[in-house]
Chains A and B, each alone.
Chain A
């Protein structure tokens, strides 16, 4: 039996403004789901809310993981229970080396390793993501290019080995080679049985990672779900038919808050 990430009727506010209007979405471990939708649909907000960012206030519904609600627990506890969020704009922490950051994270997750094994594992993952070993001693995300930050998120995904990962636009800003490298990274963790929710508004990355399910969000809720074929539908016709079917005006779909 796979474990489930169950998002049920999730309503979220940011600074008093309603962003999510009752999102329903279930992702089992061992599957890759894609979450698509126009800008401002609430995709990024969903990721933040699931991971417990304090700015995203849950005002209704539930987020359950392995049958238990995670609401009200701090992000680090969600991480310890096996959740992971890759950020669209990973944060730089000047002065904190990648090695130190990853070591602290593993310690926090209760997955500490002997120094030698730790270094071996991180070095391997850096090599797989075609990143220089020097990144170990560079400050995490500090003066990294956009692409380097995205690769580093995948290095972290592989090193920290969560059970359920939400990847927020990990594909944006990557050139074709980088995109392929990152997609390979995701496919590797996928084969380990991890559940993955890929947030994207391009179809590009889905040429390399075939999703088991595709969900479309607009105006703060999921308006359509289907198999991988939904991706090619969207590619052909855009989001308009789906929006119309859901009775959503274009202005409303775009929302006021990006992401």
Chain B
């Protein structure tokens, strides 16, 4: 308790007192924390006037981790336990326990995909995570049921969820990860998820953010894919006050494949900033990222998506697309997909579009008996259809469909579907 209070007192924009893993911490992790602390002290706080990444999200200028108490309990919990292979313990282990039991195996992987120097807030997570989830699937094994991970934060708290996902060669799994808070008050969540996919491994990973009204999310999901691996990501930003989410994938192996479909629905003064990287490092990899945002009232979506193709990454096929639906005259969407291509035999495209609900669509619905509000709901639902349809029928599509339905309910409750005539 005394230790936590001390940590809280010294958690700030300049420094923090490193946490230790519950259940003991291997030397390698202590070392990583020292690096992280140095990186944290060295890096200036993100600034909307100085940092290109933050130019459109000035909320960061006022964010101070010192105004939150660090979460004390576990930062993650498991949904219904999957009946699975993955060693005798199952595929999900407490990070601290796994590191203590086999430091030589796991310690080198932690922080290897998202090193502390990557960004200030990744450094902060690395200094302060006090537990974490390790999802590991041994070579050739397949986890049949989705693994459900939930990260919670309470009012006035800051949480640093840490997740390491390691699928060995040919392994297969599905992870459904949630960031939630039930309280409407202010909270901060700074999750870092690292994903390592061995040769031919296949991972489907759905993430959803359902923070309470005052929630702030600062998330990093970064993956490294080896030869022939497949990574399918779905994500939904549905709650909270504002946030920035990084989704970064290194296609480090030949013929690896990354596909992502995400959505965001904003109302009130919500502000969602999403920054993605499709980093093609090897030949013949495929990546496809689709992000759709619907913003109502005064809410705002900011998207920056970079496809980077390294010199040796010939035969790359990459696509990034962002579409935005503006549901009110005050809502805003910024979209900036970019290409940075150093190879000469590639196929890379990007697309962006912003639009409003077409009056003719509304009239058409209304002329068939559908109320204007219901018509708007239908059109917004339709706007997200290709995100939902990108998942295979069954549990996953149902999950994504659930995102849309809860988002629509949120819009309806706030009056965002009925308040504007146009």
Contact = CB atoms under 8 A, between A and B. Distances in A.
Interface of A: 51-55, 74-76, 78-80, 84-85, 87, 90-96, 100-101, 104-109, 139, 156, 160
Contacts of A95: 379, 381-386
Contact of A74 (B358, B361, B366, B386): B366
Contacts of B361: 91-93
A79 B368 contact: yes
Given A91-B361, A94-B385, A95-B383, A79 B367 contact: yes
Contact of B367 (A75, A92, A96, A104): A75
B358 A91 contact: yes
Nearest to B359: A54
Contacts of A85: 367
A153 B195 CA distance: 50
Given A75-B363, A91-B358, A108 B369 contact: yes
B385 A76 contact: no
B360 interface: yes
A134 B248 CA distance: 38
A156 B367 CA distance: 11
B366 A156 contact: no
Nearest to B292: A95
Given A95-B385, A95-B386, A108-B371, A79 B378 contact: no
A190 to B, nearest CB: 20
A90 B368 CA distance: 12
A54 B421 CA distance: 11
Contacts of A75: 363, 366-367
B368 to A, nearest CB: 4
Contacts of A108: 368-371, 374
B17 interface: no
A84 B367 contact: yes
A96 B374 contact: no
19 contacts: A52-B367, A74-B371, A75-B366, A76-B365, A78-B367, A79-B366, A84-B368, A91-B360, A93-B364, A95-B379, A95-B384, A96-B378, A96-B379, A96-B382, A104-B370, A104-B378, A108-B369, A139-B382, A160-B369
Nearest to A110: B369
A39 to B, nearest CB: 21
B381 A91 contact: no
Nearest to A142: B382
A106 B369 CA distance: 7
Contacts of A94: 382-383, 385
Given A95-B381, A101-B378, A74 B372 contact: yes
Given A76-B371, A101-B368, A104-B370, 11 more contacts: A74-B372, A76-B366, A79-B366, A84-B368, A91-B358, A95-B379, A95-B385, A108-B371, A108-B374, A109-B368, A160-B369
